[in-house]
A and B are shown apart, each in its own frame.
Chain A
Amino acid sequence: MSATAESTAAKSSKTTSEPVIETRNLGKIYRDFWGRKKVYALKSLDIEVKQGEIFGLLGPNGSGKSTTIKLILGLLFPTSGRAFVFGKDSTDVRKNERVGYLPEESYLYKFLNAEETLDFYGRLFEMPAEERRARTEKLIKMVGLEKSRRRQLREYSKGMTRRIGLAQALINEPDLLVLDEPTTGLDPLGSRDMKDLILKLRDEGKTILLCSHQLADVQDVCDRVAILHQGELKELGRVDSLLKVQDVTEVHAKGLSDEAKREIQEVIKRHGGEVLTVDNPTTTMEELFLDIVRQSENRPGHRSVE
């Protein structure tokens, strides 16, 4: 199942250069203190992530998403199989030069402020001082933390922490960005910003691996997804082809009279089709929320009442 899905994905993928991430028979068993086997967190995973795509790992809690990400980043040693990043073994430190990582919660030093944080991570990449300053400036602007750049991270709200976490991941202009639950803790506005940013980074040619259980987010941004359950790969393929319902046709039209609608239904019946629903489309809560927030930003004090 997964093999065929992968081959169709490979056919339909526009970016067919060498894989950025490749896992071969990757498996992880967590052991207890005495070395006894406790949990099979991941069972022989084979995936390839190609350059320039957004790859999503989906799955319920405890399905092995985070384990996969940690194995790929070299934070864990695999029990079986291997993972390669840019053709190097995942435990090779040198691969990190081209990788950016946003952890699940932002594990940053709370006693540093935004500028110091970015400066510190810049130093770890041995960037010269001017470059560090320029990158810091750019990234703080990009994630919208200009006002709180000199506040210690301990005072940050969760959303701000996510932003600085993302800025930290981008300090080295990575070719591969690994995002662990990028939208948790963000309000819909921040979530939308994050998604836009992910798409923008993809357009710049970066490869992105993200894991999430916010299905809407995955649907919005991912080119391909792998669905994990209990440490096993259940499904792998392009999002658009996976979600397409083949035998249902959707028509959106505007300004139709009731008579016209009836006529269309008759046409469908005449052709042997079956009308499932005829309805006015509802907007999503997200769109409604964003709409209201934008209006209120444009016209402060105005209350939007229908």
Chain B
Amino acid sequence: MRIDPDQMVTFWEWLIPGMGLLNGFLLVVTLAVLGFIVCYVIAARLYGPAEGFYVIAEVMSKFFREDLPNTSLRRIAALARLAFQEALRRKVLAIFAVFVVGLMFAGWYLDPAADDPAKLYISFVMTSINYMMLLLGLFLSSFSLPADIKNRTIYTIITKPVRPTEIVLGRVLGFTLVGTLLLGTMGILSYVFVTRGIVHYHEMEPMEANARKGASTYDARHSHAVTFLEDGTGVTDEVKSHRHTVSVREVDGKKVYDFGPPEGTLQARIPVFGVLRFTQRDGSVGDGINVGYESTYRKYIDGASLSSAIWTFNNVDESSFGDQLNIEMTITAYRTFKGDIVTGVRGSVILRSPDGKIESERFPFIVKEYQVDRMEIPRKVKDSVTVNHKNSISTKISFKMENSKLLSVATIAANTSVWHQLTSICAKVMRRLAGTFSRASLVFGSRWSSSFASA
């Protein structure tokens, strides 16, 4: 129920050791070199190769000798202020209105019966904000300065003691400010939208006076089983990735049950990247089956055979994960037979220590195509050898497809806490990363009770 700060990449870690700064620098250098080449080609056309070079050198030396030292922050601020005013008085509010209208009607189309409504809501607001900001940045920056040149308003600017660097920097700064403000506002609105969207309460179904267990009413397309603890408070089971706590009051000799808001719906995730390899039909190490998707994590494994997909992860240990290892997988099945396509394809997950000596029992599941397969693996698991060793064909088998010819498993496995002795997960599965990422990853995360997703 907590997140390990060590696993989160902070801004400063990203900036210097994480190559953020270096990458930015490289980008600037690349653009500068490209710009130089383009300018030189144009200058060479106009003035000839040698003279063209001289012209460019002159311009550049003027930039460093005169423009840069005389650039004034106050003028940049004035121009940024203008860009800000321009944005506010022209187009920006329209985009904002589109966003608000989108939020107003989104509620109708976001399915509350979904597996994890919070995720749906968050991905909706994230995507819409993304595109809004993209459009905004595109339109503001690509139309503003050219429009100035076209309307010749630029004439009244450059006949003042303003330098070209200041004009460009002023715009950049002004539009950055606009974007930041809008992003902030949209963020707050989205937060309200998401939290309001997922909050719901239940009531208690009628139950016996002193029963330890009961059930909640059916609200927001689900109900919970409630267990009462020694101290009189109750806890529900986890449905749709959340629980409620239940408190009991007595009013006029009757018990009244108060359900709290959903807990654990908003969870932070940190991607943990693993390495994927395969075993083939006979159990030997080899490649997965390619049915058209060439990426490794989109390859398939053979059903009813010794084929397996093995993910190896580092840094999966108990310090970062609590009581259980939560695995989420998105798996697709590719059937090569006709006939029964209703019965789900079955598979199982086995966890293995890094040295390969200890393996867990099997955790079977049925492939939910196009949905997230969720597994909660407890902190203590049985050893596969002691449980199973007579009928296990090989201790290496970790995941088995029973009733299909071919099965593919794509994955976002895990939301997890893990074993101290098990630091690698080995799944006899082919994985395809679902959703927006096109990259194999195992996503681990712990719950934050009700804080906003940060990863």
Known: A112-B85, A123-B75, A126-B72. A101 touches B163 (CB 8 A): no
Expressed in whole angstroms, the minimum distance between the Cβ of A123 and any Cβ of chain B is 3
Within 8 A of B (CB), among A151-181: 168, 172, 178
1/0 per position for B96-111, CB-CB distance to A under 8 A? 0000000000000000
Q: Give the chain A neighbours of B46 by CB distance below 8 A.
A: 35
Stretch of B127-135, B150-158, B314-322, B332-340 contacting A (4+ beta carbons < 8 Å): B150-158
Q: Does B255 contact A (CB under 8 A)?
A: no
Among B77, B159, B161, B163, contact of A73 (Cβ-Cβ < 8 Å): B159
1/0 per position for B64-95, CB-CB distance to A under 8 A? 00100010101101110110011001100000
Expressed in whole angstroms, the minimum distance between the Cβ of B362 and any Cβ of chain A is 68
Q: Does B162 contact A (CB under 8 A)?
A: yes
Expressed in whole angstroms, the minimum distance between the Cβ of B375 and any Cβ of chain A is 58
Q: Does A78 contact B (CB under 8 A)?
A: no
Among B75, B86, B161, contact of A97 (Cβ-Cβ < 8 Å): B161
Kindly report which residue of chain B lies nearest to residue A106, judged by CB atoms.
Answer: B156
A107 touches B86 (CB 8 A): no
Q: Does A96 contact B (CB under 8 A)?
A: yes
Tally inter-chain residue pairs, CB-CB below 8 A. Answer: 72
1/0 per position for B142-168, CB-CB distance to A under 8 A? 000000000111111111111100000
Q: Give the chain A neighbours of B45 by CB distance below 8 A.
A: 35
Within 8 A of B (CB), among A78-124: 93-94, 96-97, 99, 101, 103, 105, 107-109, 111-112, 116, 120-121, 123-124
Q: Does A242 contact B (CB under 8 A)?
A: no
A124 touches B161 (CB 8 A): yes
A103 touches B156 (CB 8 A): yes
Kindly report which residue of chain A lies nearest to residue B88, judged by CB atoms.
Answer: A111
B78 touches A123 (CB 8 A): yes
A121 touches B155 (CB 8 A): no
Kindly report which residue of chain A lies nearest to residue B153, judged by CB atoms.
Answer: A107
Q: Does A125 contact B (CB under 8 A)?
A: yes
A120 touches B159 (CB 8 A): no
Q: Does A75 contact B (CB under 8 A)?
A: yes
A103 touches B85 (CB 8 A): no
B161 touches A111 (CB 8 A): no
Q: Give the chain A neighbours of B153 by CB distance below 8 A.
A: 107-109
Say whether chain B's binding surface is mostly helix, strand, loop, or mixed: helix
Q: Give the chain A neighbours of B155 by CB distance below 8 A.
A: 75, 101, 103, 107
Known: A111-B90, A125-B161. A120 touches B82 (CB 8 A): yes
B85 touches A124 (CB 8 A): no
Q: Tell me the bound Cα distance from A73 to B305 in angstroms.
A: 82
A124 touches B157 (CB 8 A): yes
B89 touches A111 (CB 8 A): yes
B151 touches A75 (CB 8 A): no
A107 touches B82 (CB 8 A): no
Expressed in whole angstroms, the minimum distance between the Cβ of B27 and any Cβ of chain A is 29
Kindly report which residue of chain A lies nearest to residue B164, judged by CB atoms.
Answer: A93
Expressed in whole angstroms, the minimum distance between the Cβ of B213 and any Cβ of chain A is 66
Q: Give the chain A neighbours of B152 by CB distance below 8 A.
A: 103, 105, 107
Kindly report which residue of chain B lies nearest to residue A171, judged by CB atoms.
Answer: B160
Kindly report which residue of chain A lies nearest to residue B156, judged by CB atoms.
Answer: A107
Kindly report which residue of chain A lies nearest to residue B72, judged by CB atoms.
Answer: A126
Q: Give the chain B neighbours of A123 by CB distance below 8 A.
A: 74-75, 77-78, 81
Expressed in whole angstroms, the minimum distance between the Cβ of B56 and any Cβ of chain A is 15
Kindly report which residue of chain B lies nearest to residue A116, judged by CB atoms.
Answer: B85
Among A101, A111, A116, A126, contact of B159 (Cβ-Cβ < 8 Å): A101
Among B70, B79, B89, B156, contact of A168 (Cβ-Cβ < 8 Å): B156
Among B66, B75, B86, B90, contact of A124 (Cβ-Cβ < 8 Å): B75
Expressed in whole angstroms, the minimum distance between the Cβ of B338 and any Cβ of chain A is 64
B160 touches A121 (CB 8 A): yes
Q: Tell me the bound Cα distance from A120 to B174 in angstroms.
A: 14
Among A73, A74, A109, A172, contact of B86 (Cβ-Cβ < 8 Å): A109
Q: Tell me the bound Cα distance from A101 to B152 in angstroms.
A: 13
1/0 per position for B17-61, CB-CB distance to A under 8 A? 000000000000000000000000000011000000000000000
Within 8 A of A (CB), among B210-243: none
A124 touches B162 (CB 8 A): yes
Q: Tell me the bound Cα distance from A51 to B159 in angstroms.
A: 20
Q: Give the chain B neighbours of A74 by CB distance below 8 A.
A: 158-159
B89 touches A126 (CB 8 A): no
A96 touches B161 (CB 8 A): yes
Known: A35-B45, A109-B86, A111-B89. A126 touches B75 (CB 8 A): yes
Most A Cβ at <10 Å: residue of B78, B81, B156: B156
Kindly report which residue of chain B lies nearest to residue A94, judged by CB atoms.
Answer: B161
Expressed in whole angstroms, the minimum distance between the Cβ of B159 and any Cβ of chain A is 4
Expressed in whole angstroms, the minimum distance between the Cβ of A228 and any Cβ of chain B is 21
B72 touches A108 (CB 8 A): no
Q: Give the chain B neighbours of A109 by CB distance below 8 A.
A: 82, 86, 153
Most B Cβ at <10 Å: residue of A74, A93, A94: A93
Kindly report which residue of chain B lies nearest to residue A128, judged by CB atoms.
Answer: B74
A96 touches B156 (CB 8 A): no
Q: Tell me the bound Cα distance from A138 to B82 in angstroms.
A: 23
B160 touches A124 (CB 8 A): yes
Q: Tell me the bound Cα distance from A109 to B86 in angstroms.
A: 9
Expressed in whole angstroms, the minimum distance between the Cβ of B331 and any Cβ of chain A is 55
Q: Give the chain B neighbours of A116 by CB distance below 8 A.
A: 85
Among A107, A124, A125, A178, contact of B151 (Cβ-Cβ < 8 Å): A107
Known: A111-B85, A116-B85. A121 touches B156 (CB 8 A): yes
Q: Tell me the bound Cα distance from A178 to B70 in angstroms.
A: 25
Expressed in whole angstroms, the minimum distance between the Cβ of B4 and any Cβ of chain A is 49
Sample of 11 A–B contacts (CB below 8 Å): A35-B45, A35-B46, A75-B155, A75-B158, A101-B159, A109-B153, A111-B90, A121-B156, A123-B81, A126-B72, A172-B160
Which residues of B are at the interface with A, using a C-beta cutoff of 8 A?
A: 45-46, 66, 70, 72, 74-75, 77-79, 81-82, 85-86, 89-90, 151-163
Given contacts A75-B159, A120-B82, list 16 more A-B pairs with CB under 8 A.
Answer: A74-B158, A96-B158, A103-B152, A107-B151, A107-B152, A107-B156, A108-B153, A109-B153, A111-B85, A112-B85, A120-B78, A124-B78, A124-B162, A126-B72, A126-B75, A178-B159
Q: What are the nearest 3 A-B pairs in CB distance?
A: A123-B78, A111-B89, A101-B159
